[in-house]
Every structure is written in C-alpha cells, then in structure tokens.
Amino acid sequence: MRVFVLNPPFLNKRFSRSSRSPAVTKSGTLYYPLWLAAVTGLLEDRGFDVRFVDAPASGATLSDVVAAAEEHKPDLVVVETTTPSIYSDLEAAAAVKQAVGTPFTVLCGTHASALPEETMAMAPHVDAIAHGECDDTIADLAEALKAGASPASVPGLTVRDDNALVRTARRELRRDLDALPFLSKVYKRHLDVRNYFFAAAHYPVVQILTARGCPYGCFFCVYPQTYTLRQYRKRSPEHVVEEFLWVQRELPHVKEIGLEDDTFTVDRKRVQAICELLIARGSKIPWYCNARADVPREILRLMRKAGCRMMAVGFESASQSVLDGMHKGIKVEQIKQFARDARREGLLIHGCFMVGNPGDTPETLEQGLQLAKELNTDTMQFFPLMVYPGTEAYRWASENGYLRTADYASWVDPEGMHNCVIDLPGLSAEELVAFCDRARREYYLRGRYIAAKLLTLATHPSEVRRTLMSARTFIPHLLRRNGRVEPQQECVG
C-alpha cells in the first residue's frame, strides 16, 4: 500500500509550517516538518511505501506536487494544515485527490486538529482528520484501509460516514517514545538538510524532538494545547544520545542539532543524564534547545560542557501581572537571575518578549523593552501575540471582541509574513506592530549591545559565519520602518 505524505506549498514561498507561529520569515528560517517526518517514519516501520514531499523546502509548486502524486499512485494521502494556510492546504488536498483518482485523504496539523468539523465542512473532498499527535493514528488508519476495515474503527479521527461527521474513540497519547524511529533518519531518506535554516543555529542544522508535550500552562502556545494536551512524555537519555551520535556519523556535514521540544529543561535530572552521557560518549556536535528562565546555574554549566551553545527562552514581559495573566509561571527576578547565570556560563540566549497579552498597556510594553536592554542577550525578539484556534489565547481574544477578522488568510499578509489580528483596549494592532518595530531597532542599535556582540564574535569565532548569514537578511529589515511584523526565530519555554 502506498502513502503520499505532503507538506503542501503555500504562496510558492518558504513557508515554515511547523513553526509554532507558521509564516514566511525574513530571516530565512524554515523548520523541518517534524510531525510529518514522525508520520513517515512510523509508516515505513510498518512496511508501507511512502513518498514524503516537503514543498516549501524543495520549492515544489502545486503542479509539481500533483505530478509527484500521480507518479506514486497513493492509496492514502496525508496533508498537513495550519491556520494561515488552511484555504490553500485544502486546495492542495483537492488537487491531489482529483489527479490521483480519489485516494483516501486525511488532514493533520494544528488547525485541522483544533477545528475538525469546521475544516471538513469546508472540504467535501477530505475523508478524515487526524487529531493532535497523528503518527500512530495515521499508521493505524493505513492498516485499517489495507485490511478493508472501516476508518471509524480507528481512534483519534473525525471521519465522514454516510455524509455525517463522526468523531471516533479518543486516542491515548503514546508513552513509549523510544520505540519510534529517529527523525534524522527520515530526513536523510527523504529530505535535503541544506534546504532548512534556523537563524540562531549553525548551518546546516537538524531539528529533532527528545520529548513530547509541555506541562506548563502558557495560554498562547499552540502545540501543547492542540497536539500534546500538555502531557509531558520523554525519550530515554540513551535513546537521545544515540540519535546525536547517529547524526554525527551519518550526516557529518550537519553543524548543529536543534532540540525542538517545547521545553527541553522540564526534567532537570533527565537533562543532567543526557548531558553526562553526551560527554561520556564523546559527542562533538553543538546543540541548542528551548528552555524556561528557571534553570539553575549548575545545570547550565553542565549543558554548556555537553555542547549546548544556545537556548531560546520566552521572557515575554517585565510585568509580573502580565506574566501571571498568561499563566507563564515565572517571576521577573527569575528571568534576571537566569540571564546572569547563562552569561556567566558562556551560553548564548535568544530571548523573546511578546506584546498584546492580557493586562498589557503602553507602560508594560515599555517596561519590557527596558528589561530586554538590561538582559542584553545575544538576540532578542519583540513580537505581537499571535492567536490560533484551539488555544486559550484565541478564546480570550474571540470572547472579548479583540479579533479583527475571522478570515484565517488574514493571519499572514500577501507575502506570507505574520499579520497582527488583535486590537486591545488602548493598543491597536498597528500600535503593537509599531512598538515591536521600534523596540527591535532600539535594542540592536545600542552601543552596549554592539560591544557585547563584538566580544562574543571575538571569543567565539565559530559564531562569525552564522552571524553574518543572519545579518545579511535581518539588518535591512531592522532599518526599515514599514509597520510590518518582521519575524525572526521563535521562542518557547
């Protein structure tokens, strides 16, 4: 049985669909299709013939995708979705289905998971939607179709049954993550690692997951709310380190590994075990991770010794009431201490401040900018809150009348870049974007920042190439005053 797994094209641009805020980025950042790779790996483990196409990475147009599907002749088509691209995603699914001859078509992704009935009502050609973590669901669906069984027997789906929509039994989330194939092996078989880029990492980079889920309650983060249901599950340290060593051996041109767990530092004992094993096994490849601003200095020191180069950290706000309102679970003093400790241990930080949260005012935004300058991290992002269906943030914005539009295409502009769609009392979307634009300029054009950056380049020569690659695209937009959201890389944790 043949399966066609598709990350569909969108605007024929490098649309980073797997990012937590999917968009086209000026920095050139393009995430690996992490969840589709998980689907592909599990299907192949079960003996299915899989064609995996990542159109935004390869530059494939819809015509190219249709031609590839016609050549493969699949019995099952899997298409990923996001909120800003949903209308285009449905068109791509319809085009493949029509060209190939009505294969069973299933959608996955954050948007379809959050709004399955609404999505299927828009797409009569779609046969099912796989909810949340979809690898086991889609593999079981393929087995059912192969055996001639009803898709309604597979947990974790919304399916069409005699023109009615039926939600099947709830699927329990997988606990044994060590039984899953390495994502890096799927990349080697199907993708070109040189097509992917993360502005804060050395190039080329490989992104993997060492755990699924995040136990923290941040009200905006989309994957913990639409995919993993905030249930934290983890791979063993031995399994994680084996993948590091496999990448080092089988993909020697890769310069860094990105640990794209929502929050790598959830379990400090596990972080310690992974780091100690990386050191003992002689891993040489540097890595970055997503972290919270609550990691003790002794763990930071061990992470650095084990090859950690950078952490992406969501600081979000300098206002404790705003942090509490978004359920961040972090104190402002923790943020300051963490930044000091990371600097002393030689770790770089990509920080993030988010504006437009509950309780934000022009005053709290300015407080955030002043704290960002005080922290003076290697890179800093200022970004309007992006609200996605299925999250508390979306419900909050919708119920309070803060959403400008219900047209999902408006979540990005015509170029595919983020578009702010919320107006708060006293803070319009234009004002939020204008603040981020000004904050970014003020942050990066300070003498203290420039001096610190030059010192970093002098003491870390390996950072020169990465910095120059990022600066080539970032600096022109830093100097522009166009009122447009200019995404860099993203922060979680």
pLDDT of the residue at 490:
52
pLDDT tens across 11-43, in order?
A: 999 999 999 999 999 889 999 999 999 999 999
**Predicted local confidence at residue 458, as pLDDT:** 77
Q: Which residues pair with 288 in a beta bridge?
A: 258, 310
Arithmetic mean of pLDDT, 290-305? 98
The Cα–Cα gap between 213 and 233 comes to: 6
Residue given tokens 């803060």 in the structure block: 402
Which residue type does 24 have? Answer: V
For the cut 50, the answer to whether the pLDDT of residue 111 exceeds it is yes
Average pLDDT over residues 410-420: 96
Task: Say which residue, 493 or 52, is predicted with more confidence.
Answer: 52
Residue 487 pLDDT level (bands cut at 50, 70, 90)? very low
| For residues 349-369, average pLDDT | 98
* For residues 354-362, average pLDDT: 98
Query: Mean per-residue pLDDT for 49-76?
Result: 98
What is this structure's pTM? 0.93
Could you read off the pLDDT of 420-474 as tens digits, one per residue?
999 999 999 999 999 999 999 999 999 999 988 787 777 766 666 666 655 555 5
- Spatial contact of 3 and 50, defined as CB atoms under 8 Å apart: yes
pLDDT score of 385 more than 80: yes
**247-263 burial: b if 16+ Cβ within 10 Å, else e:** bbeebeebbbbbbbbbb
Per-residue pLDDT of 143-158, as tens digits, reads 999 999 999 999 999 9
For residue 381, pLDDT over 50 is answered with yes
Residue 390, C-beta contacts closer than 8 angstroms, at least 6 positions apart:
110, 113, 114, 115, 222, 225, 226
Residues 58-75, mean pLDDT to the nearest whole number: 98
Average predicted confidence (pLDDT) for the chain? 94
What percent of the chain has a predicted confidence (pLDDT) above 90? 89
pLDDT at 480 over 70: no
Mean pLDDT of 121-143: 97
Give the per-residue pLDDT at 453: 79
> Is the per-residue pLDDT at 489 higher than 70?
no
> Which pLDDT score is estimated for 475?
59
Domains and CATH numbers, the chain: 2-167 (3.40.50.280), 198-478 (3.80.30.20)
pLDDT at residue 412 greater than cutoff 50: yes
Give the pLDDT of residue 488.
41
Q: Tell me phi and psi for residue 206, to 5 degrees.
A: -120, 135
Which pLDDT tens digit goes with each residue over 75-95? 999 999 999 999 999 999 999
For position 49, what pLDDT does the model report? 98
Question: 232 - beta bridge partners?
Answer: none
Q: What is the pLDDT of residues 208-257, one digit of tens each?
A: 999 999 999 999 999 999 999 999 999 999 999 999 999 999 999 999 99
pLDDT of residue 26: 81
Residues of the chain by 3-state class (helix, strand, coil), percent to 5: 45, 20, 40
